[in-house]
Amino acid sequence: MYALATCLASVLRGTSTDVYLDVVDADTVAATGLPAAIRERTSRVSDGATGTPRVVRVVSGQVQSDTDVRVGDRLRDDTHGGVIYTVENVTDPGGAGNTADLELELKRVT
């Protein structure tokens, strides 16, 4: 991993149904003990119609290039209290012969 890891994480995968037949996330661990770099960035934007300033928080992460993480998985931060993020997008920025870290677009759910 090229980025400075900020935590150890686990990849949670899968869904199940509850007694009401609603789909719920399962806590099946696909991988654990993964070094990950999870960062939250904030930026100020203005509403076009009213000019009201807003703060937008964007959470991104990086994991090793050989990590099996997919869109729809959940990434649990095991170091900082078990915060769970859903994986919205996975990008491999590497080119031919380049093994760059996978970049994750995350959304905090807990």
CATH superfamily of 7-108: Protein of unknown function DUF3599 (2.40.10.370)
pLDDT tens digits, one per residue of 2-27:
889 999 999 999 877 778 888 788 78
Mean pLDDT of the chain: 89
Is the separation of the CB atoms in 31 and 2 below 8 Å? no
Using CA atoms, how far apart are residues 55 and 32, in angstroms rounded to an integer? 33
User: Residue 83: what pLDDT?
Assistant: 93
User: Residue 35: which of 71, 70, 75, 72 has the closest Cα?
Assistant: 75
pTM of structure? 0.82
60, 66, 71, 75 alpha-carbon torsion, rounded to 10°: -60
**Residue-wise burial string across 35-46, b where 16 or more C-beta atoms lie within 10 A, e elsewhere:** bbbbeeeeeeee
Is the separation of the CB atoms in 64 and 2 below 8 Å? no
Using CA atoms, how far apart are residues 60 and 41, in angstroms rounded to an integer? 8
Where do the structural domains in the chain lie, given as residue ranges? 7-108
Is it the case that residue 97 has pLDDT exceeding 80?
no
pLDDT tens digits, one per residue of 22-53:
878 878 899 999 999 999 988 888 888 888 88
